[in-house]
Amino acid sequence: MNPSEMSFYQPDHDAFRVSVREFVQREISPFYLEWEEQHLVDRTAFAAAGAAGVLGTRVEEAYGGGGTDDYRFRFIVAEELASAGAASYSAGLAVQEDIVIPYVMELGSEEQKRRWLPGLTSGNQLGAIAMTEPGAGSDLQGTRTTAVRDGDEWLISGQKTFITNGIQSDTIVVLARTNPDAGSRGFSLFVVEAGDSGFSRGRKLDKIGLVAQDTAELFFEKVRVGRDRLLGEEGNGLRYLMERLPLERLSIAVAALCSAEAAYGWARDYVFERQAFSQDVGDFQTVRFTLAEIETELEVTRAYVEAATLKLNRGSLTAVDAAKAKWWASELQQRVINRSLQLFGGYGYMLEYPIARAYRDARIQTIYGGTTEIMKEIIGRDIAARAKRR
C-alpha cells in the first residue's frame, strides 16, 4: 500500500511527506539503535523535529507552528516513523504534539500560550501530562493529587506514575483535586515547570517495550504555583480531559495502524526474498493466505481510521468514534505484528530485526490511553443509551 496514492492525501501532504522522510533519515534512523541501547531518546531529536517543521504542525504561526488544523500531516509523521521502526521516539513525539500542545493551545490564556507554546513547538522544551497515579489509572476520579489554595497561590502535593517524557520534561500538565466535595467538578489542571521547588522525578521506569522512550514517576511536595499556572477554569479539569480524549485515542489508533502496516510490509518483502524447498516462502499457499488476510484487515481498518481523521478535522469526532478506532486498531496491531513475526521464522525473534522490536513495542498500545476493555465499555454504554431511547 502506498498512502501517497490514496485520495485521503493531497499534493501538499505528499510534499510534506518528502520533508518528513528526509528528516527521519537524517535525524532519527542513524541514531535510533544508540538511543535504544542507552534507554533514552536524545533531547536533540525533538529540537530537530521542531527545526524541520515536523513538530507543531497544528500550532498557530504566531507561536512558531505550522498553522494548519489538518491531522493528516500528523498521520504522515506517524507513518514515516513507523516505517523507520522508531516507535519510542514516535510515542514521545505524540505526547508532545497530540496531548500537551493542544492542552496549552486550546485552554491557555494568551500569556500562557506565549510562555509555553514556542518552546514546545520548537522542541526546545519537552512536555508531559501527569494524570495516572499508582492507584488511579482509567478511573481519573480516583485522583489523589491535591492542589490546595494558599492565598492567591496553590500548593500541589501528590504522586504520578507511568508519565511519558517524565524524566526530560520541562512543562508538565498536572491533574489535581481542588475541591474534594465537588465530585467531577472538583478537579483542575495546572502547569508545573521542571525548576519548581518541591517537584522531583523518581526512577526512569524499566518497561517491556518502548525502551528508549522516557517514562517516569513524578513527585509533588507542596509545589507552590501562582494563578498563572491554572490551565483553563478551576473545577473543569475532568471535562477538559474528556473533551480531548478523542484526539489522544485517535493518535494511538493512527500509530497502531501505521506500525501494523510497516510490520506487514517487512514480512511481505521478506517472504519473497527468502526461499525454502526451492521456492519463495511467499509462494506457499498458507503464506499467501496469511498475506491476503493481513492486507485485507489493514485496508479495512485504514478506511475507518482515515474517516475518523477527517471527522477530527471537521470537529465531529466523538468519544465513541475514537474508542472504536483505538481498540480495534491497537488489537489489530497485536495480531498483525504477531503473524508478521511468524513469517520471519527464527530471525523474527532477533532484536536486530525491526519486526522483533515492533512486537515488543506494540504491547502497550491496548493499555495506555484507555484499555481495550474501557473502550468497549464506552461503546457499550452508548449502544445501551441509544437502544433505550427507542
Distance CA 337, CA 259 (A): 8
* Domain co-membership, 271 together with 369: yes
* Domain co-membership, 27 together with 163: no
* Domain co-membership, 250 together with 135: no
Q: Which domain range does residue 375 map to?
A: 239-388
Domain boundary among 125, 157, 186: 125
Distance CA 170, CA 225 (A): 15
Contact between 131 and 160 under an 8 Å Cβ cutoff? The reply is yes
pLDDT of residue 3: 46
Cα R_g (the chain), whole angstroms: 21
pLDDT digits (tens, 9 = 90+) for 204-233: 999 999 999 999 999 999 999 999 999 999
* Domain co-membership, 338 together with 214: no
Contact between 38 and 212 under an 8 Å Cβ cutoff? The reply is yes
Contact between 323 and 249 under an 8 Å Cβ cutoff? The reply is yes
pLDDT of residue 329: 98
pLDDT digits (tens, 9 = 90+) for 280-314: 989 999 999 999 999 999 999 999 999 999 999 99
Q: What is the DSSP letter of 64?
A: T
Distance CA 92, CA 195 (A): 21
CATH code: domain of residue 348:
1.20.140.10
Residue 110 burial (CB < 10 Å; 0-12/13-18/19+)? exposed
* Domain co-membership, 89 together with 145: no
* Domain co-membership, 255 together with 370: yes
Catalytic residue among 248, 306, 331, 352: 248
Distance CA 272, CA 270 (A): 5
Distance CA 376, CA 380 (A): 6
Cα torsion angle, 198, 216, 255, 176, sign: negative
C-alpha cell, 153:
497561590
Distance CA 106, CA 131 (A): 18
pLDDT digits (tens, 9 = 90+) for 315-367: 999 999 999 999 999 999 999 999 999 999 999 999 999 999 999 999 999 99
* Domain co-membership, 223 together with 258: no
* Domain co-membership, 264 together with 372: yes
Domain boundary among 235, 266, 295: 235
pLDDT digits (tens, 9 = 90+) for 254-283: 999 999 999 999 999 999 999 889 899 899
Domain boundary among 185, 201, 235: 235
pLDDT above 50 (res 78): yes
Q: Would you call 106 a catalytic residue per the annotation? A: no
Q: What is the mean pLDDT of residues 86-90?
A: 98
pTM of the entire predicted model: 0.94
Domain count, the chain: 3
pLDDT of residue 4: 42
* Domain co-membership, 35 together with 175: no
* Domain co-membership, 117 together with 140: no
